[in-house]
Chains A and B, each alone.
Chain A
Amino acid sequence: MQLSESGRVVTAVAVSDGVLKYCNAGDTAWTEATNSSSTTPPLDDTALNFGSPCNGELWYVDGYNYRRFNPSTGTVSDWTATAGSLPVDGDSRVARIIETWRGRIVLAGIIGAPYAWYMSRVGDPTDFEYAPATPPGPAPDDPISSATGPQGIVGDVVTAFIPFTDDIAFFGCSHSLYMLKGDPQDNGQISLVTDQIGIAFGRAWCKGPDGTIYFFSNRCGIYSLVPGGQPQLISAAIDQLLVNINTGTNRVSMAWDERFRGIHIWITPIAGGATQHLFFESRTNGFVQEEYDNELHNPLCCCQFDGNTPEDRVVLIGSFDGVVRFLDPNSATDDGRTIFSTVVFSPILSPGLDEMVVTEIQGVLGSDSGPVTWGILAGRTCEEALAQDVQASGEWEGGRNYTDFANVRSHVLYPQITAEGQWRFEEMRIVVGLGGPKTAKGKE
């Protein structure tokens, strides 16, 4: 276990096949939690489950079970109410959405009550006693729900609950978004933000360090949101990559990565298979795609881990093969599998759409870069060029490379770099000229 001046203990908790295991920062293996719950395993072995920390414990829902995990004792047990009762529907199904807000546990997503929400007493996740207190009336920290509070249900299927500040939270719904301002037990109000944009189910959202909320919408756009404003689409440049995603058969997980100052958007087919994920670079507002050569590495869930050492301040991902991993700046492979990277640069065009010829190309890579393969894509149109194989190629090593000579002619030229390891790019120099006068503006 890592020691800290603050005395804090950072514990990662994973659920696999319904079994709950945990490890503290610095540990080298998972430890199975002692199961004192009423079922074995303690959680459903296939259902999506979420945990939320409150009062030094993790509180879990999976649609069938309420469970609590105490990291100090390493014990998972039934989460039962000490006052009132935890919400269930007529078929004994329980919540599937859980978050902590204002010291309350917030529950939603019950199949039989999809529009409802429930909040525990402030500071006591086991108190769901909604009955009004004796006069002068409910206290501000009393439990409250959509059935007992004047705010009522939100009118749309709740798919996410996003705590923003102690005063503001959002209900993400199937096709709408509501803002909850103020504690509902203290005259808080729910107001519609938009009835045009919803949030994908679960935790298809994250928050940046400045508090900005980012979420994956029901219509497969990626939005940013700050209270008081409307959701802003930030994925317009890549809409055509998102528009065909099936949010029912894919699990969307998002996480802010403090080290790399961006957002991971992992879009993983629940049934497995190849897929492409996204990374949003917040410093340049640009998206890139990510692929893992091993489909079993595709993330099904993620969480921020905040240990003391650099390698323990990471976003953890859980995958199909049962291994928890993180994105490691010191790793040139995906846990031993090759990382195939490709980038196509902006096209080189002549001002008059003339045919051009590339005669020289020289690359400068970072001195600590691995090798890359450069190439020139060429075609009479951009689409044709992108669809073709490279017309010329060569290898560059780290540092300043010798000039390579080429003779690639066409109307559109795209430089490209591909690699199978870690590399760092500085710049390239390309010498281009016009093609012959006969073909300069010709169709062929």
Chain B
Amino acid sequence: MDKEPRIVTFPLFGLDVSQGPFVQRAGTSPLAINVRAYDVGLRRRGGSRPGLTPFFGAGSTEQVNGFNKIQSLSCIVTADQAATFDSQSLIVNFDVHYSESDNPPPRDSPITSNALTWYRNTSPTREYVTEPVVGTPDGGGTGRGTARFKISTDGVDVILDCSFISAGFPGPYVPSGNPIDFTMTQAAATFFNPMIGGMSSNWTVVSGSFIGNYFFNCYYPGP
């Protein structure tokens, strides 16, 4: 046999000490300590194992109860009874879309009140315009209409339909079966709690307001 190069890869199939050493199964190792087939970057090539870090972060010496050994560890998941669904919580990326309903008749388009521009569809078949609300709502304008709000929560879109009930008294409502109710408050515009329709008893919104154009603060009292 002439000299020949051999390419040797990591023994990905781990330890095998069950057979005679001369018939070591391909891809196995007779000795593998503190190594992994998938490295710490999760690539299948071999490497060292990850190290131990204190739960409270590297360098922490926080002990449960002094140098006494730990007898048990458990984990429990509960609901935060006082959670506020702010931008770090429930509702983020609040895209607002608006369209008029076909009943009652649509208003002029676009509906403009001060700096607010509500875009509307031009068809009674509700072809929702996707442009966001621009500016700040000031009172909802006049007449009747329906606004559709699309809320993205953790990748799940929740659609809210809200109606402007009457001039100067804009009150959204959530149709029956809709899981979320909310109000939003702005200096000159208030969307009141639902006046009509069903809502989940688990969801009661205390207050909310625009933050910029897309965000609401809502409150979730817990289940």
A: residues with CB less than 8 A from B are 1, 3-19, 21, 23, 27-30, 43, 45-53, 56-58, 60, 62, 71-72, 236-241, 259-261, 276, 279, 281, 283-292, 297, 300-306, 311, 316-335, 339-350, 354, 359-360, 366, 368-370, 381-383, 386, 412, 414-416, 419, 421-434
- A residues in contact with B61, CB < 8 Å: 323
Given the known inter-chain contacts A329-B40, A344-B32, please indicate yes or no for A301 contacting B53, CB distance below 8 A: no
**CB of B105 within 8 A of chain A?**
no
Chain B contact surface mostly: loop
Cβ-defined contact, B4 with A303, below 8 A: no
Residue B75, interface by CB 8 Å? yes
**Cα distance, A222 to B66, chains bound together (Å):** 34
In the bound complex, residues from chain B placing their C-beta under 8 Å from that of A335 are 51-54, 58
- Chain B's nearest CB lies how many Å from the CB of A23? 8
Choice from B49, B55, B91 contacting A326 with Cβ under 8 Å? B55
- Do residues B14 and A237 form an inter-chain contact, with CB atoms below 8 A? yes
Q: Which A residue sits closest to B71, measured CB to CB?
A: A15
- B13: chain A residues within 8 A (beta carbon): 284-286
B interface bracket (residues with beta carbon within 8 Å of A): 35 or more
Measured between beta carbons, the chain A residues less than 8 angstroms from B75 are 10-13, 53, 303-306, 316
Residues B49 and A327 in contact, CB atoms below 8 Å apart: yes
In the bound complex, do residue B38 and residue A10 qualify as a contact, i.e. CB atoms below 8 Å apart? Answer: no
B35 x A288 contact (CB < 8 A): yes
- Docked Cα-Cα span, A283 to B27, in Å, equals 14
Q: Is B26 an interface residue (CB 8 A)?
A: yes
Determine the distance from Cα of A383 to Cα of B22 in the docked complex, in whole angstroms.
9
Query: Roughly how many angstroms separate A395 CA and B162 CA in the complex, as a whole number?
Result: 70
Q: Is B16 engaged at the interface, CB distance under 8 Å to the other chain?
A: yes
CB of B38, distance to nearest CB on chain A (Å): 7
CB contacts (< 8 Å) of B176 on chain A: these are none
Residues of B near A10 (CB, < 8 A) are 75-77
Q: Give complex CA distance A398, B68 in Å.
A: 41
* A276 shortest CB reach to chain B, Å: 7
Q: Which residue of B lies closest to A294 (CB)?
A: B52
Alpha-carbon gap, A16 to B69, bound state (A): 6
- Residues of chain B with a CB closer than 8 A to A11's CB: 75-78
- Is there contact, CB below 8 Å, between A51 and B74? yes
Q: Interface code B82-120, partner A: CB below 8 Å = 1, 0 otherwise?
A: 010100111110000000000000000000000000000
How many angstroms from the CA of A330 to the CA of B1 in the assembled complex? 45
Q: Is the beta-carbon distance between B34 and A289 smaller than 8 angstroms?
A: yes
A54→B9 CA distance, assembly (Å): 48
B75 vs chain A, min Cβ distance (A): 5
Cβ of A430 and Cβ of B8 under 8 Å apart? yes
Q: Is the CB of B65 within 8 A of A322?
A: yes
User: B50–A288 contact, CB under 8 A?
Assistant: no
Would you give 13 A-B contacts (Cβ < 8 Å), ordered by A?
A5-B153, A12-B73, A28-B56, A289-B33, A321-B63, A328-B50, A340-B33, A345-B29, A346-B28, A366-B43, A382-B30, A424-B48, A431-B3
B44 in the interface, Cβ–Cβ < 8 Å? yes
- Are B51 and A432 within 8 A (Cβ)? no
Contact assessment for A279 and B31 in the assembled complex, using a CB-CB cutoff below 8 Å: no
Q: Please name all residues of chain B whose beta carbon is closer than 8 Å to the beta carbon of A322 when the two chains form the complex.
A: 63-70
Q: Is the CB of B3 within 8 A of A237?
A: no
CB of B212 closer than 8 Å to a CB of A: no
By the criterion CB–CB under 8 Å, are B72 and A15 in contact?
Answer: yes
**B80 A7 Cβ-Cβ under 8 A:** yes
Q: Is B187 an interface residue (CB 8 A)?
A: no
The yes or no answer to B10 lying at the interface (CB within 8 A) is yes
Q: Which of B46, B51, B66 contacts A425 (CB 8 A)?
A: B46
Cβ contact within 8 Å between B48 and A5: no
- Name which residue of chain B comes closest to A70, CB basis: B78
